[in-house]
Structure 1
Amino acid sequence: MAAALAVARARRRDVADVPLAAIAAAAGMSRSTLLRRLGGTRAPLDDAVRRAGIDPGGRPPARERAIAAAASLIAEQGLGATTLDAVAAAADCALPTLHGLFDGRDGLLTAVFDRYGPLPDLEALAADPPGDLCDLLRAVHRVIIGAFGREPRVLPAIFADACGRPGGPGHAMLKAMVPRTSKSLWALLSPHIEAGRLQPLPFPLLVQLLLGPIATHMLLRPTLETTLGAELPSVDEIADTLAGAYLRAVAI
């Protein structure tokens, strides 16, 4: 424990972030010997540090740090600046570690979209949808509103990149998510189509009419709030209005 505290102070890091190899070297033994004395895990060492009245600290796993760092970079600087080198520096992890965890930059960006985009909430909604069509439309709108408003603001940055660079990474990220998005939306809308509550329009058109207006509003809302102020209706009012418009357009 004394060796661990000494190395942590020298490196200005938490004890939990100091590699066992460095602690073993400071204690004058091999890493394998240290592990054997600890019983195969560093937990007893961390417990001893706590009993001494010191917080051993610790950080989230490298994967979680990388996803959070990439999300912040995307929101603040855009997709173009979100390189693996920049993420590795911001997450304080090695570049080879990122390659191993995510299979390259595309894999990392996919993980970020999956965490901060609308898909997890949309899939959860599809697994347990409300029976009433109007309630369903409001629930879908809430999912989109939540994804666009989530901090850091990853989704607006992805849309901005996709609109500005049709062949760029933002376009690729959105394109990769189309199958899962379509599957969830089909599960939500198809029962109402089959029951005769929605017109049997081409499915992409039904989706565009449902998601397009609310996504466009959420993209523009930060600008509208600074220009219109109190004149701008609340997000809930906008969602209700758009749900009603959708029903008038496509409901039978």
Structure 2
Amino acid sequence: MEAAARLYGMHGVGEVTLEMVASDAGCTVQAIQGQVGGRDGLLAAVFDRYSPMPRVEAVLADPPADLESAARLLYGQVLDALVGEGRVMAAMFAEIASRPRGALAVHIRDSYAPRFVGLMMSWLAAYVEAGQVRRLPEKTLLSLFTGPVLARSAVVLATDEHPAPAERDRLAADLAGAFCRAVQT
């Protein structure tokens, strides 16, 4: 997966073959097919590893009690995954945009997105039940959280001007404050 991610970041998904990945990883194409099921499985595995999900899961395993602190940590992890080192996620998003019915887009729609929604809604439900967050439709609440960070990430990916860690931290704090002002009672 590391070899595939590196190559996707350098060349884009469409230019990378399983042979290139196998050569870079020092294995065979058959080994890749046996491990992840070929090109489509490799795309899904790389996306799952380099997307924000593992980082979000780690934060939400033991989130801070304070909504704004938790949101700031989550935004920081999402920004690090989306606009931090490398261009892996830019290549992944380009693949999704260019092939909306492709294997990666289907994986995100059928598996990744429902898992992410469930994770985020489980986190926010405690604040809603405690009366700290307004009862809003699920899609509205999630849009208020994800919309700004995805929009900012899209600009960064399009301009290739990746913010330094201190700037990402400041942006995470700004986004968390804005989210809390939008949803708190």
- TM-score, with normalisation over the residues of structure 2? 0.86
The answer for the alignment partner of 2:9 in structure 1 is 75
Q: How big is each residue's C-alpha offset from its partner over 1:130-185, in whole Å with a ceiling of 9 and x where there is no partner?
A: 10011111011011111013433211221222233322344234323112212221
Tell me the secondary structure at the aligned position of residue 73 of structure 1.
helix
Partner Cα separation in structure 1 for residue 60 and residue 75 of structure 2: 13
Paired residue secondary structure (1:234): helix
Structure 2: gaps of 5 or more residues: none
In structure 2, the partner of 1:161 is: 95
Aligned to 2:46: 112
Task: Please say if residues 79 and 169 of structure 1, whose CA atoms lie closer than 8 Å, have aligned partners that are also in contact.
Answer: no
Once the 2 structures are TM-superposed, how far is the Cα of residue 192 of structure 1 from its aligned partner?
Answer: 0.4
Partner of 2:155: 220
Please report how far the alpha carbon of residue 96 of structure 1 lies from its aligned counterpart in structure 2 after TM superposition.
Answer: 1.3
Larger C-alpha radius of gyration, 1 or 2? 1
Which of 187, 196, 199 lines up with 2:131 in the alignment? 196
Instruction: Determine helix, strand or coil for the equivalent of 2:131.
Output: coil
Report what 2:175 is aligned to.
242
Contact (CA 8 Å) 2:8, 2:88: kept in 1 or not? yes
CA contact (8 A) 1:199 1:250 kept: yes
What residue identity is the alignment partner of 1:193?
V
- 1:205 aligns to what? 140
Moved more, 176-185 or 215-224: 215-224
Aligned to 2:58: 124
In structure 2, distance between residues paired with 1:109 and 1:224: 22
Instruction: State the aligned residue count.
Output: 181
Query: Is 2:13–2:95's contact at 8 Å kept on the other side of the alignment?
Result: yes
Opposite residue 148 of structure 2, the aligned amino acid is P
TM-score (norm 1): 0.65
Pick closer, same or farther for the CA change 1:78–1:172 going to 2, 3 Å: farther
Determine the C-alpha separation between the residues in 2 that align with 1:106 and 1:97: 14
Q: Which piece of structure 1 moves more, 113-122 or 150-159?
A: 150-159
Alignment counterpart, residue 121 of structure 2, candidates 158, 181, 186: 186
CA distance in 2, matches of 1:236, 1:224: 18
CA RMSD, aligned part only? 2.3
Instruction: State the AA in 2 paired with 1:249.
Output: A
Residue by residue over 1:52-92, the C-alpha shift from the partner in whole angstroms, topping out at 9 and shown as x without a partner, is: xxxxxxxxxxxxxxx11110121112222233222122223
Query: Higher relative contact order by CA 8 Å / sep ≥ 6: 1 or 2?
Result: 2
Q: What letter matches 2:120 in structure 1?
A: L
Given that 1:162 and 1:171 are in contact with CA atoms closer than 8 Å, whether structure 2 keeps it comes out as yes
CA distance 1:173–1:75, shift in 2 (3 Å): farther
Q: Tell me which residue corresponds to 1:41.
A: none
Percent identical pairs in the alignment equals 38
Q: Deviations over 1:179-223 (max 9, x none)?
A: 221222122111001111112111122112101211221221252
